Structure 1
């Protein structure tokens, strides 16, 4: 909770600070990495640094946190904080790094805003920063304790048991702990960080959803190779696709992520609520994990599975998604393909055994996802994963169809730019 004096200063200065946050965070990262280059080794995603996504996400989270403190002074924005805390825990962020960030962030604020940063203004924003940092440190401490980690160290070596080519640009890796020890528990929808050493010697970490958690002790991650084009080429995904083979070992974090299906699948108190699972592209991975958990629990709740993709051959884990949805007594699915005529399997297009469940034409529509004519269950809880424009549009359609905004949950791969744009 902000003091009355601080709240008044933040309210007066938020428009100016907010308008300059992108410049402030750009200066912050440039100065910090120039003086502390070791932070780029394993902690920060340098691809997001080059694209500017990381600084926009940081700016958005700071502005959103300050705005929430002003709008609801007696509440702590735990939903915002939990998402950030899980991302931090998956990277092994430690308490002392908040002190480093504070030093360079407030140096950038003073440098960009100059004389506008009076001692009173600096003290007010310092209070906001440490309210946010303190809450995150406490949350991350609990996450580390639950994972049995000490000092943020959750890393463990895993051996690749099998590699599966799902589509031309998507592969799955089945993994087992290299030390032969027990597999840590995971909730459907959670992700792990994979840490690899790049050719230049710098370590980089990326998060991948656990797309499968079998009873045999195997874990599965499904990785899409990000090719150069509209986005910079994904250096980690490209390395994994090019080099990883059965028998190799990878370094993985413990599972984290707050967009999950607890128990047999549902938020506490909503265990019987209908589910609407919505995805596009590689966003299918947490949805498949959720479906696996629901089918394994023989859930009788109504589950509506909605997925959009460019074509059937590009739809990773398609037959698995269809099979699991069909195994549910009250399951239903609809798939949209922008290029339905491109229905041939193509090379590796049917690597997931697609001859059975979910054949072309069954529950398939042409074009982009359009919920017109799709019956959305009353009182449903929705989970979304996919590109940000897709999720914004899907959320709007779901809310228009009667889903309560509080019951729409989403997962973002990478920095939460949805929050930054909010």
Structure 2
């Protein structure tokens, strides 16, 4: 069942799980992993793969009980659904697998670091995680955990924590700005309904200090609100900034889809995280002009640097479904109209999938831009067509997004080895689109997916 090396390791002397926290210390000098420890971590990766979700489930349960304030950091919904546990398990397994070649997981590390920075994860919290993670491994594996394995994994976790702490420290330093690190209060200056379920919130800083921190088009902010009826409980979600930034940067705009699956959910379900769309329902139903929310600085690794003149002629394909259009709207506007853009003539192919006219977000804006800019083409998919909808004017294809319906060269630029692809929508939809583009010969390194929720893909 396990590799021979792993079986030999697990046959040695065990360590009691209640002794594990003492093996982890953030105050102790960090030592590089030895070759033997690296070998141990790699050889025990299959064991973690088998027990990973059980370990992470125990880990989150124990940590939340010991440190209830961390409920304000983690999504209760992702905890309830098991998505958070699966994401952590997958990350730990990937780290163990590539511990001697960390370059292969750097994109995942970068994505997670941005998510952590958007939630203001602190260095001291890594010690808490380390203690409870090692404790959970000991609790689940029992007499299968030896001193050597425990020491190797403790050292490995310390190494990984240092990587995250260092990268997040860099992300907290906004270039050219001297603002404190932490949540900042913003008031809602305006609400605009973009579709039957999506509303844009225009947010201005309560302290009046501008310009606001700059962002790259495609990035997001974390928005935090108190949960009604649950004393002291805060929840945050990541929302893309849905417009190009202006020179004065006096406000941010986020466009939020209301999930209608749990309107008026019982407080006990809210508190346990059983509900879907918790924060979106709170925003849509309770927050009006003048109300105050808290925001993080912009973060995220899904973005375009419009000042990069080297990509001025490289085609960019923007594919979205539903509210996934929001970061792509910011990218489109920034490429075309940001004064700092060095790629205003860049070939842009906009491919958008919506259920119908009522659910389409930013449709009129995109069609207007495509009409004004020769370098922009737009192809719109609606899978519900009503009387009065005009093909070729309101929409192009009466179906869900179908890559086969598009021109492989004119719409998707599959023959251009410089073309870049930005994909945003539901996770399964993004995976399907990525698979389709790969089937057309587009290499994965040119395909970018935006991930919210746990920030992970099922296959990672």
After alignment, is 235-244 or 360-369 more displaced? Answer: 360-369
Match of 2:459 in 1: 421
The Cα of 1:232 is off from its aligned counterpart by 3.6
Match of 1:410 in 2: 449
Asked if structure 1 preserves the Cα contact closer than 8 Å seen for 2:336 and 2:345, the reply is no
Distance 2:387 2:44 in 1: 54
Change (3 A) 1:178 1:359: farther
2:355 aligned with 1:310: yes
Asked if structure 2 preserves the Cα contact closer than 8 Å seen for 1:213 and 1:219, the reply is no
* Superposition map of 1:171-320 within 5 A: 171-182=199-210, 183-199=212-228, 200-201=230-231, 202-215=233-246, 217-228=250-261, 232-264=275-307, 269-296=310-337, 297=341, 299-320=344-365
2:59 to 28, 41, 52: 28
Distance 1:335 1:399 in 2: 21
SS in 2 for 1:329: coil
2:108 aligned with 1:80: yes
Match of 1:353 in 2: none
The Cα of 1:395 is off from its aligned counterpart by 0.6
2:398 aligned with 1:369: no
Distance 1:21 1:150 in 2: 39
Asked if structure 1 preserves the Cα contact closer than 8 Å seen for 2:226 and 2:234, the reply is yes
The Cα of 1:290 is off from its aligned counterpart by 0.2
* Superposition map of 1:285-364 within 5 A: 285-296=326-337, 297=341, 299-341=344-386, 361=393, 364=396
Change (3 A) 1:326 1:27: farther
Larger radius of gyration: 2
The Cα of 1:51 is off from its aligned counterpart by 1.1
Gaps (5+ residues) in structure 2? Answer: 1-31, 263-273
1:155 to 172, 183, 202: 183
SS in 1 for 2:397: strand
The count of aligned residue pairs is 401
Give TM-score, length-normalised by structure 2.
0.82
Aligned CA RMSD, in angstroms, stands at 2.2
The Cα of 1:9 is off from its aligned counterpart by 1.4
The Cα of 1:342 is off from its aligned counterpart by 7.3
Give TM-score, length-normalised by structure 1.
0.89
SS in 1 for 2:306: coil
1:89-120 CA-to-partner distances (Å, cap 9, x unmatched) read 00010000000000111100000011111111
Gaps (5+ residues) in structure 1? Answer: 345-357
Change (3 A) 1:35 1:411: same
